[in-house]
Structure 1
């Protein structure tokens, strides 16, 4: 749970400690969210607002000409060294800092277009130039059009169907077709007192089948440098290290090197004017004046506010009422169209929390908030945080348009001091934000994406893809929230950020300006697809992993984390198996456990013993040396790194089996070192050893194994090993189709490799 920053937590902790015992007991006894918020509102003072203002002052989120100049100068330095990606990011940062209609804004736009030109982003629109540089704009426009025309001609020669024979007709953009959201026809919503709402298979689901598609009701991007502020963040970008807040659209999370800035602040930026417009209308109109307050108060507070602003008064009023007859007549889960007013599945007519309302706000509102499970101190922190945020909103101006009613009907209100047009009953906004804040502790979903680690280090054209999973945002998904947890899940999740047609790589001619501008202004969206990762029988529950996975964490640790954050004792298959107690290093060491007295060498002729503490110490030594070797590789000490890795791998092999995760990591690191040298055969040989460990740890049907085999296919291809490459490609294709679907870009690369290899004669 992304709580507020440490300074704010310390302030609220001191405030809680200073309350008299009677007031603490009264607050702790409150079990209704409305009552908790009202109580916190009476306890929140100007001192709290002043502390928030003081902490927020350390973050740079306003327009600042001086900062824009510094960003442009850093961009110029990167441009001179031909690091055009870093240059574009620096210039974009300058665009965001520069005040509207300023000279610096024009200069940053101008310089950024030059960097984008060298990156071959020819279709990125160029605007905002200063008048005395218009000749450069015209020259660059002609160059871009020439490149696009050449690219268009090449594609037409390859595909005659794309040619425009009449010359005057515009090329039609391809249609993406309708996209459906909701639960597929082979799954249904169930309910039980023990499991609550959950998803079960209504028909047999084959591995790889889509179970549901969902989109977040709201999401908030997680800053990559959220622990840095002020000059710290400035120094970080000066080194060319940019966080997710610099690289991604703050609405649809799409990556972009040429963001559209917010007109009011330097923090928010978007991939298109469409995303900018929709974000402003939906929530940023109210977030922008808050400045850095939302950064201080944490991602969960931010997301809770965003959900409430999007919902509006009418939806919240409806969600607070008993279930309507419309909901009672609904049918079980099915695919819903784009409309957010989707049908729902009635499970228990007497309790709204047991019903399914599709992807509407009601599905979010009725998620369990577990108020009674939160400790008094945490409950107080959440309540005072939201009460302070509510008071800040009141000071900004009149309430949001969706809340602009002077009186609420059917709501039991409590009179408070009116301020401007904020009616006395609008405490309901704060209560709704608090409700969602508490819900998010158990129901927030991290949005994950794969990041190319080689590209991150500057090796944009690396012949072997190496990626790591990163968390870029936190979201609330109405339908995905139905899935319960299992440490050994039967589903696989794939996130798509910025879903929609991208201009880069499209086949439109450079003169199709109307169609292109229209598509650029269309806002994109984040989506998630849930597939069966294995065959699921009729009646079997459909589950996914909340984080603690049996392949990554021991049972005791998983149980502790799940109990602390989700308040339940996991009884999944992985946690109830009898051999669970014996999991861990046993079976992955060359020594077997000897009745709790230590470890005995598995070779009967040896008889060597090691204590548990000695094994732990040796494993820690291996990890330290592995980290040192990786650091050496990244600082151009490749030969030294390779020698160290080979020595450690040989030594660790005396105590670790080839299936141990550490042996797999060592083999992978050695393979990377050889690949950097261009020694493809040795790289492939060591990566094959890593594949054995990955398969043992994650399973033969895991996406982790698929990713490792994908790298192995690349190594065989680069080394000209036709037979081994062709034997690996089908295995990779099966695993990628299973987890990511038939349209992922890795499959396109595999197909290209396979086509090329089949043309080679033996």
Structure 2
């Protein structure tokens, strides 16, 4: 769904909508052109709107502040004293971002962070911070400490590593970027091609057989935006005293790579980067215009910020070309179900693909259109107040006998509304075409012997070619995201004999986000290449999937899974809804048991389907729908309490609760029910935390059976469970069982993540140890 503006701003715009003249409101509702919608909203937007936006964003100020920087440094010192160096480095980094340029507080934060990085054995990063501290006026009477640290770092630095880093900051007026080579934005394997039809629009098909696991597509986004506040890092002390850092503190705001020592923006306290190269790229593309808006963009939501970045990157010339005739004898046709581009796509002109994504302006509700349009208009007003227009939105003019005018002398041209209309277009498009970039986040205490993880959304991105893929509730592809370093070319993996020097050069020259699409099964020639937009046939029933897809993407899904399941689910759908857990559930593998004889419990047909009865005629036991619902809800709530106990490092209490719940659940749930799988997984985690590895493995095997039935024997979900099982068998020194499960895990991980994923390296190390 869209990341809408904050509630205060939504209420403000809602009041404007309520106050509109009925005739004017009807006129707005009838508008079908983006330009008309935006011009209408712009005519209603006043300075009072801009002032209100600025007032509610004041609580999220991004101004530099020496006092706040000092507080962060003190928090870092507290973590440093208990040897929690990672948390200390993050606190010092926050202080670095808050400290004014060339201030003593900035030098002290850099110096303290260098100490934390040294203890983390990040010697090159430590040397960089030593240099930065000295350049920013570190007290001379303390400089001997930094010199001693430099000497220790140089002693421990690997032979051949380059010491020192040029500390360029584009926010301070530098105009000479690192000059890095850009990687290709999209790579499609030779066995796939773009096709077009009236009913499906432009889409990808196989022109030759594509083997399972083969890379079909690698693409870097046209633009992306980091989502704030969705990730936490827990200190060694854990529990209530843990240190929590949002994604904005942990990841580069350009390439999304994780970093403990970000390079700050010189003008604001929010944006930070993993390197001066990423800092420069972001500054040139969008941040030099975002930075003056400060906290205003925190009010507007991620979708507007992403839409603004797309428009800033495109520039007025690309927009005007895209708004003109399509040319080359092409005609706009019906888009595919995702609203993807019906026009000619080209790696040399990716913006044309972006511009012609369907915006569905007539299908969004009038109030949502009004909210988006007024928000964009207000941001454009704020942007015009901060100075001249972005260089990419200024048509270059050369006066007679003179040179091209400087950026600071430029005026908004040709029309001030064009940028806003373009941003609004992209904002509406993104509801159907944005891609959530996900990553695994560690959960539980940092000092626990067992680490759990959960999938979180760290960014939103726009991938023009990925948007060509139509949806299927049972797709034939698997998606994986990488951040920080460019992936290998499409159809190949990094060569084993690739020199370390060339790999290092690749890492320096092509940082960024990449999506990799692999074939999850064999795809025959002429077969369409499909991926899932979220609602999957293994997680929810057909009508629920169709409802969610229609609400967000404005199409009624009739994929193969929906067509096959719709008829058989008409009678069974309500039963599946009662059985599935609150997180989604699945019609496959769900099974209710009769609490009296343990036979199958099916929905009654003779009472209008309002209850359940035992399938065995000799029993005939009945249960009402509310009784079944209450039983399942009680199991779910107990499971959640047990997981909470595990998070609080109380595995013994959690285990007692889980064992009691499993005995009770066995009276109504078959072993293959998804809830039984979740109970077994939590029980395995409790045993593992207590060091009972083999008991944990026995429980996890039950979860593996449920997962395999729910998601399929070739699913990534099963791969993840089997990987945990291999770890448990290895820790329990169960050599035979461990060696038997490793090949299964390897096959599935290669299928979905490729042969060079970190999990396969860990499996190889385990296998070598067991065989050795």
Give TM-score scaled by structure 2 length.
Answer: 0.84
Q: In the superposition, relative to structure 1, how do residues 140 and 246 fare at CA in structure 2: closer, same or farther (>3 Å)?
A: same
The aligned residue for residue 275 of structure 2 is 272
Query: Does residue 193 in structure 1 map to residue 198 in structure 2?
Result: yes
Q: Which residue of 1 aligns with 2:742?
A: 729
In 2, Cα distance between the equivalents of 1:689 and 1:665? Answer: 10
How far is the alpha carbon of 1:531 from its aligned partner?
0.5
Per-residue deviation, 1:499: 1.3
The Cα shift of 1:646 comes to 0.8
Change (3 A) 1:301 1:238: farther
Shift of 1:142: 2.5
Cα deviation for residue 424 of structure 1 reads: 5.3
Distance 2:743 2:111 in 1: 47
2-structure distance, mates of 1:515, 1:357: 29
Counterpart contact for 2:230–2:458, Cα < 8 Å: no
Q: Is 2:674 the partner of 1:665? A: no
**1:361-372 alignment, distance < 5 Å:** 361-372=351-362
Alignment of 1:500-649 (within 5 A): 500=486, 522=509, 524-577=511-564, 578-581=567-570, 582-583=572-573, 584=576, 585=579, 587-590=590-593, 591-595=601-605, 596-601=609-614, 606-649=619-662
* Partner Cα separation in structure 2 for residue 262 and residue 717 of structure 1: 46
Of residues 419, 422, 430, the one that matches 2:412 is 422
Asked whether the equivalents of residues 274 and 523 of structure 1 are also in contact (C-alpha less than 8 Å), the reply is no
Q: In structure 1, how many angstroms separate the alpha carbons of the residues matched to 2:707 and 2:141?
A: 59
Instruction: Check 1:733–1:4 CA distance in 2 against 1; reply closer, same or farther (3 A cut).
Output: same
Contact residue 657 and residue 663 of structure 1 kept, 8 A: yes
Distance in 1 (CA, whole Å) between partners of 2:182 and 2:368 is 47
Q: Tell me what 1:355 maps to.
A: 344
Give the whole-Å Cα distance in 2 for the aligned partners of 1:739 and 1:441.
Answer: 27
Q: 1:69-84 alignment to 2 at 5 Å?
A: 69-84=70-85
Give secondary structure in 1 for the equivalent of 2:51.
helix
- Partner-residue secondary structure (3-state), 2:416: helix
Would the aligned equivalents of 1:183 and 1:479 in 2 still touch at CA under 8 Å? no
- Are residue 137 (structure 1) and residue 138 (structure 2) matched? no
Q: Distance in 2 between matches of 1:471 and 1:321?
A: 36
Query: 1:523-559 deviations in whole A, cap 9, x for unaligned?
Result: 6111111011111112211111111111122222211
CA contact (8 A) 1:273 1:520 kept: no
| Counterpart pick for 2:485 among 496, 499, 507 | 499
> Judging changes above 3 Å, is the alpha-carbon distance between structure 1 residues 216 and 361 closer, same or farther for their aligned structure 2 residues?
same
Q: What does residue 656 of structure 1 align with?
A: 669
Instruction: Look up the SS of the partner of 1:723 in the other structure.
Output: helix
Shift of 1:128: 2.6
Correspondence for 2:211 among 198, 201, 206: 206
Alignment partners' CA distance in 2, 1:553 and 1:516: 43
Rounded Cα–Cα distance in structure 2 between residues aligned with 1:477 and 1:180: 9
* Whole-Å separation in 2 of the counterparts to 1:517 and 1:63: 35
Give the deviation of 1:622 after TM superposition.
0.9
Aligned counterpart in structure 2 of residue 487 of structure 1, from 473, 476, 480:
473
| Counterpart secondary structure, 1:372 | coil
Task: Measure how far apart 1:148 and its partner are.
Answer: 3.0
Distance change >3 Å, CA 261–CA 729, structure 1 → 2: same
* Alpha-carbon distance change, 383 to 237 in structure 1, aligned in 2, over 3 angstroms: farther
Q: Secondary structure at the match of 2:132?
A: coil
Provide the residue aligned with 2:287 in structure 1: 284
Q: Root-mean-square deviation (CA), in Å?
A: 3.0
Q: Secondary structure at the match of 1:58?
A: helix
**Is the 1:574–1:580 Cα contact (8 Å) retained in structure 2?**
no
* 2:404 paired residue number: none
What is the Cα deviation at residue 674 of structure 1?
Answer: 0.7
Separation in 2, partners of 1:450, 1:306: 26
Greater Cα offset, 537-546 or 524-533: 537-546
Cα distance in 2 between the residues matched to 1:322 and 1:470: 41
CA distance in 2 between partners of 1:731 and 1:501 (Å):
25
Deviation at 1:632, TM superposition (A): 1.3
Change in CA separation of 1:671 and 1:558 when aligned onto 2, cut-off 3 Å: same
Say if 1:274 and 1:520, in contact at 8 Å, map to a contact too: no
- Cα offset, 1:27, TM superposition: 1.3
Q: Which residue of 1 aligns with 2:385?
A: 395
Deviations 1:486-537 (A, max 9, x none): 11111100101111599xxxxxxxxx9x999998875611111101111111
Shift of 1:245: 0.7
| Deviation of the 1:149 alpha carbon | 4.0
Correspondence for 1:223: 228
For residue 426 of structure 1, report the CA deviation from its aligned partner.
3.1
Match of 1:751 in 2: 764
Does the 8 A contact of 1:322 with 1:352 survive in 2? Answer: no
SS at match of 2:513: strand
**Partner-residue secondary structure (3-state), 1:458:** coil
Inter-partner Cα distance in structure 2 for 1:57 and 1:598: 55
Q: Is the 8 A contact 1:272 1:522 kept in 2?
A: no
Alignment partner of 1:613: what SS?
Answer: helix
Equivalent position SS for 2:113: helix
CA pair 589-352 structure 1, distance change in 2 beyond 3 A: closer
Q: Is the 8 A contact 2:227 2:460 kept in 1?
A: yes
TM-score by length of 1: 0.85
**Structure 1 unaligned regions, length at least 5:** 153-174, 228-235, 330-345, 409-418, 503-511
Q: Does 1:710 align with 2:696?
A: no
**How far apart in 1 are the matches of 2:414 and 2:325?**
24
- Aligned partner of 1:310 in structure 2 is 313
Change beyond 3 A, Cα 1:141–1:39: same
Equivalent in the alignment of 1:113: 114
2: CA distance, partners of 1:248 / 1:259: 8
Q: Which runs of 5+ in 2 are unaligned?
A: 162-179, 233-238, 399-408, 489-499, 580-586, 594-600
2:250 corresponds to which residue? Answer: 247
CA distance in structure 2 between the aligned counterparts of 1:261 and 1:600, rounded to whole angstroms: 64
Moved more, 583-592 or 308-317: 583-592
Distance of aligned partners of 1:265 and 1:49 in 2 relative to their CA distance in 1, 3 Å threshold: same
Conserved 8 A contact 2:486-2:514: no
Give 1:28's aligned residue.
Answer: 29
Rounded to whole Å, the distance in 2 between the matches of 1:5 and 1:303 is: 16
Cα distance, 1:323–1:501 mapped onto 2, change above 3 Å: closer
1:324, CA displacement in angstroms? 3.8
Contact 2:603 2:610 in 1 (8 A): yes
Residue in structure 2 matching 1:434, options 419, 424, 430: 424
Is the partner of 2:483 in helix, strand or coil? strand
Q: Is the 8 A contact 2:231 2:245 kept in 1?
A: no
Against the structure 1 CA distance between its residues 493 and 237, is the aligned structure 2 distance closer, same or farther, given a 3 Å change threshold?
farther
* Cα distance in 2, alignment partners of residues 751 and 669 from structure 1: 27
Tell me, in whole angstroms, the C-alpha distance in 2 between the residues paired with 1:182 and 1:69. 47
Cα contact 1:55–1:296 (8 A) shared by 2? yes
How far, CA to CA, are the matches of 1:382 and 1:501 in structure 2?
36
How far apart in 2 are the matches of 1:294 and 1:8?
Answer: 12
Question: Which residue of 1 is the match for residue 155 of structure 2?
Answer: 146
Question: 1:476 aligned to 2:476?
Answer: no
Determine if contact 1:275/1:521 at 8 Å carries over to the other structure.
no
CA deviations over 1:366-418 (Å, ceiling 9, x no partner):
1001111111111111111111111111111111111222899xxxxxxxxxx
Structure 1 residue 678 corresponds to structure 2 residue 691: yes
Change (3 A) 1:226 1:708: closer
Q: How many angstroms apart in 1 are the aligned matches of 2:15 and 2:22? A: 14
Structure 2 Cα separation of the partners of residues 724 and 241 of structure 1: 39
In terms of mean alpha carbon deviation, does 126-135 or 727-736 score higher? 126-135
d(CA) in 1 for partners of 2:181 and 2:730? 33
Paired with 1:405 and 1:516, the residues of 2 have a C-alpha distance of: 40
Query: Alignment partner of 1:725: what SS?
Result: helix
**How many residue pairs are counted as aligned between the two chains?**
685
